């Protein structure tokens, strides 16, 4: 399971004894500002470096876990892994060590944002271009790790932080606590995890990951495919009543095409997701760099589509009125276009031609007034000068008599007229009244604690899986499902399940921390047992 300390941030859950109050100075350089979260293995604090003023996040393990050899190895691996890769899309680790009371601590950059899981709970889906942009940054981060021989193994939305920036959105990959060095594993070095244990989150795990196969970059590629699928559809490809059934589905059934859940996606994106989710790892993109390379042309296509939609080309605009004005202006000036020249105005030039059309219309009106005055002035009006005749509409005046021995006057040129837009005809049938149009309900929009989140299909699956885990005594799975607080009708209900799971897993201090304040009689019994074990 994921080694994540920042799990429970509910204010009513008091911290275990030994929490550092605000103002505490750790290792002579970090001043604690507040508690960001608590979990069964420790706490996370917001702190500030006393010398440079930089805000940081500090993970501190509980004493009993700081003495557990496997946990110590995993904790130190997280610090080494993030520092070894050193990629801008991976959370930075600044410091690590041991406190005077022998508790381990880890100092990381503080990220002012929210994780992708919270984004999906609120908005259900992510816009296509943004989803591809987020995944490309994830792929680049994992690609850097894969080049260093490091596989994340627990990629999921809660391990992806979205950080607003002045020029866009930064993506940070978190929690390399169970990352594996594939080079070391191949060489036969000691594993961080124990044989037979499931390390990862079943919904995002590759099929072969359940077989205890050595870690490969294709583990992370599969997880990227699941996350892209979820961002674009609001749901994961497979669902089942429990983790083992889910992994069995993945091993024996091909993943559904994303086109069955959402139509209209770019074909290249559909193929990429399908390739990431293949059962045979050899058919997937090789690593994070390969996924990023395939996302780049997809993003370019999406950018082109957006540009064409918001800034259409001149071929989508009717140019006939403007061309008419150009020809009329050229005729009046006595200029002829060069043979082979095409008059194609740009959108920026159009206002100038409209101004010319207005001027010509005014000149035509002036000429018409002059002709009318001349007709009234005498019985035999003289024809207007050629330059005025050129702008008078032929239907406006009667043609002057032409002597037999004279040549006919030049034909008049009609002035350009601004195109008129006729109003659209009224609808033949009235549309439905406003109240007849109703919005389609969004299953995740209200997915917040205290709302209707627990009624969403995903949360129903979470509760079903948690109940099955409790019946089959798979306590680690029950613990993880109970921590998805938004999927329960009340915080107390979820905390009771987590308290039970922590007690059965031997995390007695975490059991007391999570269960403190519960009034349920059964939970009170568990708390007394945990207190006794801690005291013993």
Write out the chain's pLDDT in tens, 536 residues.
333 433 333 333 334 456 889 999 999 999 999 988 776 678 889 999 999 999 999 989 888 877 877 777 777 777 777 777 888 999 888 888 889 888 989 899 898 888 999 899 888 899 999 999 999 999 999 999 999 888 888 899 988 999 999 888 999 998 775 555 544 332 222 333 333 344 568 899 999 987 778 889 999 999 999 999 999 999 999 888 788 888 888 989 999 999 999 999 999 999 999 999 999 999 999 999 999 999 999 999 998 887 777 666 544 444 344 444 444 444 444 444 444 444 444 343 444 445 555 566 666 777 777 666 666 655 554 555 544 444 444 444 444 554 444 455 555 554 554 444 445 555 444 444 444 333 333 433 334 444 566 788 788 878 888 887 787 777 778 888 899 888 888 889 999 999 998 888 888 888 888 999 898 888 888 888 888 877 75
Measured distance CA(102)–CA(61) in Å, rounded: 10
283 in active site:
no
Q: Is the dihedral of CA 244, 213, 281, 459 positive or negative?
A: positive
What's the CATH architecture for 25-109? 2-Layer Sandwich (3.30)
Structure tokens, 324: 């008419």
Residues of the chain with CATH 3.30.200.20: 25-109
Measured from the Cβ of residue 263, the count of other Cβ atoms closer than 10 Å reads 8
Q: Which CATH class is domain 114-306?
A: mainly alpha
Measured from the Cβ of residue 170, the count of other Cβ atoms closer than 10 Å reads 15
Measured distance CA(86)–CA(495) in Å, rounded: 37
E strand or H helix that includes residue 95: strand 93-98
Q: Is there a contact between 277 and 225 (Cβ–Cβ < 8 Å)?
A: yes
For 480, counting Cβ atoms within 10 Å of its Cβ (0-12 exposed, 13-18 middle, 19+ buried), the class is buried
Burial state string for 364-403 with b = 16 or more CB within 10 A and e = fewer than 16: beebbeebeeeeeeeeebeebeeebbbbbeeeebeeeeee
Pairing of strands 150-151, 93-98: unpaired
Concatenate the DSSP letters of all residues of 104-158 into one string. EEEEEE---SEEHHHHHHHHSS--HHHHHHHHHHHHHHHHHHHHTTEE-----GG
Measured distance CA(240)–CA(510) in Å, rounded: 29
Residues of the chain with CATH 1.10.510.10: 114-306
| pLDDT at position 83 | 73
Measured distance CA(201)–CA(223) in Å, rounded: 10
Q: Is there a contact between 46 and 37 (Cβ–Cβ < 8 Å)?
A: no
Residue 470 vs residues 11, 93, 203, 475, 491: alpha-carbon distances, Å: 26, 36, 18, 7, 18
Q: Collapsing DSSP states into helix, strand and coil, what is residue 470?
A: helix
Residues of the chain with CATH 1.25.40: 453-535
Residue 489 DSSP one-character state: S
Tell me what the pLDDT averaged over the chain comes to: 74
Structure tokens, 294: 């395939």
Measured distance CA(381)–CA(205) in Å, rounded: 96
| pLDDT at position 446 | 38
Q: Is 496 annotated as a binding residue?
A: no
- Catalytic residue chosen out of the listed positions 154, 175, 220, 468: 154
Under the phi-then-psi rule, with left for phi > 0, alpha for psi from -120 to 50, and beta for the rest, what region is 527?
alpha
Measured distance CA(215)–CA(142) in Å, rounded: 14
- Predicted TM-score of the model (pTM): 0.55
Structure tokens, 94: 């600044």
Measured distance CA(210)–CA(483) in Å, rounded: 22
Structure tokens, 385: 């000068």
| pLDDT at position 16 | 45
Q: Which CATH number fits domain 453-535: 1.25.40, 1.10.3470, 1.10.3680, 2.30.170?
A: 1.25.40
Measured distance CA(419)–CA(321) in Å, rounded: 6
């Amino acid at each position: 399971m994921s080694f994540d300390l920042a799990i429970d941030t509910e204010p009513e859950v008091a911290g275990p004894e030994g929490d550092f109050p605000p103002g505490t100075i750790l290792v002579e350089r970090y001043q604690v500002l507040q508690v960001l979260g608590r979990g069964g293995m420790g706490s996370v604090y917001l702190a500030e470096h006393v010398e440079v003023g930089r805000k940081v996040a500090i993970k501190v393990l509980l004493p009993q876990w700081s003495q557990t050899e496997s946990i110590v190895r995993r904790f130190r691996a997280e610090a080494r892994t993030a520092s070894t890769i050193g990629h801008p899309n991976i959370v930075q680790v600044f410091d690590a060590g041991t406190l005077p009371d022998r508790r381990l601590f880890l100092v990381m950059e503080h990220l002012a944002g929210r994780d992708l899981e919270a984004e999906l709970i609120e908005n259900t889906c992510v816009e296509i271009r943004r989803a591809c942009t987020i995944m490309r940054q994830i792929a680049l981060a994992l690609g850097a790790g894969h080049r260093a021989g490091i596989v994340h193994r627990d990629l999921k939305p809660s391990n992806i932080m979205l950080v607003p920036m002045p020029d866009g959105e930064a993506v940070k990959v978190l929690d390399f606590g169970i990352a594996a060095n594939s080079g070391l594993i191949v060489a036969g070095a000691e594993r961080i995890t124990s044989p037979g244990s499931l390390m990862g989150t079943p919904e995002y795990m590759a099929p072969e990951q359940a077989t205890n196969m050595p870690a490969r970059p294709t583990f992370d590629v599969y997880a990227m495919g699941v996350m892209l699928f979820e961002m674009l559809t609001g749901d994961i490809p497979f669902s089942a009543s429990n983790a083992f059934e889910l992994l069995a589905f993945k091993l024996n059934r091909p993943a559904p095409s994303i086109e069955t859940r959402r139509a209209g996606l770019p074909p290249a994106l559909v193929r990429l997701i399908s390739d990431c989710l293949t059962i045979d790892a050899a058919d997937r993109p090789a690593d994070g760099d390969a996924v990023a390379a395939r996302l780049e042309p997809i993003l370019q296509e999406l950018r082109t589509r957006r540009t064409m939609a918001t800034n259409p080309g001149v071929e989508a605009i009717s140019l006939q009125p403007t061309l008419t004005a150009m020809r009329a202006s050229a005729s009046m000036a006595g200029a002829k276009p060069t043979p082979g020249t095409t008059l194609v105005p740009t959108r920026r030039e159009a206002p100038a031609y409209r101004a010319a059309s207005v001027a010509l219309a005014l000149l035509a009106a002036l000429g018409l007034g002059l002709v009318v005055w001349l007709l009234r002035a005498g019985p035999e009006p003289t024809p207007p000068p050629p330059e005025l005749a050129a702008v008078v509409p032929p239907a406006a005046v009667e043609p002057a008599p032409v002597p037999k021995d004279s040549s006919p006057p030049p034909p008049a040129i009609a002035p350009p007229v601004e195109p008129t837009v006729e109003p659209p005809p009224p609808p033949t049938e009235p549309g439905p009244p406003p109240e007849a149009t109703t919005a389609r309900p969004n299953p995740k929009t209200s997915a917040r604690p205290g709302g209707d989140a627990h009624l969403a299909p995903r949360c129903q699956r979470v509760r079903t899986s948690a109940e099955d885990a409790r019946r089959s005594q798979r306590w680690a799975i029950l613990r993880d499902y109970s921590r998805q607080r938004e999927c329960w009708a009340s915080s107390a209900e979820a905390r009771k399940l987590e308290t039970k799971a922590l007690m059965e897993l031997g995390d007695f201090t975490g059991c007391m921390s999570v269960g403190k304040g519960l009034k349920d009689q059964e939970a009170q019994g568990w708390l007394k047992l945990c207190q006794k074990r801690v005291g013993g």
